[in-house]
């Protein structure tokens, strides 16, 4: 491993525990559609592939729905309306996030937040949680043609900063983050507390597992 020039960090499950608000919106969506509501713990397994997939999973109960379920578009519209009003009501930063970002910013790293979440939700969430000022760039799901695990968002961000992928680091919490980083040629670290889709963090094949963002500056100080 080598010291990166660019650090790209995932949002949901890495910086913010957004599951409580996402679960509320998904459950209320199901209720309005006359369906049984769902527990937050179930929704935690569905997070990570954007709102469209979350709604499909909520409507079918399947991790990989084969096709758009009945009421998908209506469900997506209802979910989006509810979530837009609840994007930061119950969500919170994970321990160590603010400390870690402050130290990384002070050390002069270029910082980007790369998420599959739509900008309609991402920008208000980052503003209300105070994350915005720490990042030089925020890339949302609708800013790119394809979502993670496709590497395009990482590659385009490295190009934006004029940094080689090999001198870039992705920090995330899911298999999507690791697969995107590997395909883009980024180094990749994972935190153990996010949305693992039923996997163990040890199974993600990251270069390193860090307990929190607060540990990241110390790790990077030891890299050449």
Phi-psi region of 21 (alpha: psi -120 to 50; beta: other; left: phi over 0): alpha
Per-residue pLDDT, 198 = 82
Indicate the burial class of 66 (C-beta count within 10 angstroms; 0-12, 13-18, 19 or more): exposed
Specify whether 10 is catalytic: yes
Architecture per CATH, 19-85: Orthogonal Bundle (1.10)
pTM summary value: 0.95
Question: What is the pLDDT, as a whole number, of residue 110?
Answer: 98
Q: What pLDDT does 223 receive?
A: 85
Backbone dihedral region of 194: left (phi > 0), alpha (psi from -120 to 50 degrees) or beta? Answer: beta
- Whole-number pLDDT of residue 113: 98
- The catalytically annotated residue of 10, 21, 173, 177 is 10
pLDDT at 1: 86
Q: Which CATH superfamily is domain 6-17+91-221 in?
A: HAD superfamily/HAD-like (3.40.50.1000)
What pLDDT score does 224 carry? 67
Mean pLDDT by 10-residue block, N- to C-terminus, for the chain (224 residues)?
96 97 98 96 92 96 91 97 97 98 97 97 96 98 96 98 98 96 98 91 96 97 82
Residue-range domain boundaries for the chain: 6-17+91-221, 19-85
């Amino acid at each position: 491993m080598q010291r990166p020039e660019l650090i790209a960090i995932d949002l949901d499950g890495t910086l913010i525990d957004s599951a409580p608000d996402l679960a509320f919106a998904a459950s209320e969506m199901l209720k309005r559609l006359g369906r049984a509501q769902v527990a937050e713990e179930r929704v935690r397994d569905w997070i990570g592939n954007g709102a469209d997939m979350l709604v499909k999973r909520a409507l079918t109960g399947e991790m990989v729905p084969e096709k758009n379920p009945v009421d998908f578009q209506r469900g997506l519209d209802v979910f989006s309306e509810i979530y837009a009003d609840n994007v930061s009501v119950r969500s919170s930063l994970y321990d160590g996030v603010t400390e870690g970002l402050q130290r990384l910013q002070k050390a002069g790293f270029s910082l980007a937040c790369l998420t599959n979440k739509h900008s309609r939700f991402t920008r208000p969430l980052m503003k209300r949680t105070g994350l915005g000022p720490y990042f030089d760039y925020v890339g949302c799901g609708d800013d790119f043609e394809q979502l993670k695990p496709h590497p395009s968002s990482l590659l385009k961000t490295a190009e934006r900063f004029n940094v080689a992928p090999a001198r870039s680091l992705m920090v995330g919490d899911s298999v999507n983050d690791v697969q995107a980083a590997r395909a883009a040629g980024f180094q990749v670290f994972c935190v153990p507390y996010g949305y693992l889709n039923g996997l163990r963090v040890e199974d993600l094949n990251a270069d390193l597992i860090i307990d929190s963002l607060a540990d990241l500056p110390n790790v990077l100080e030891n890299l050449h």
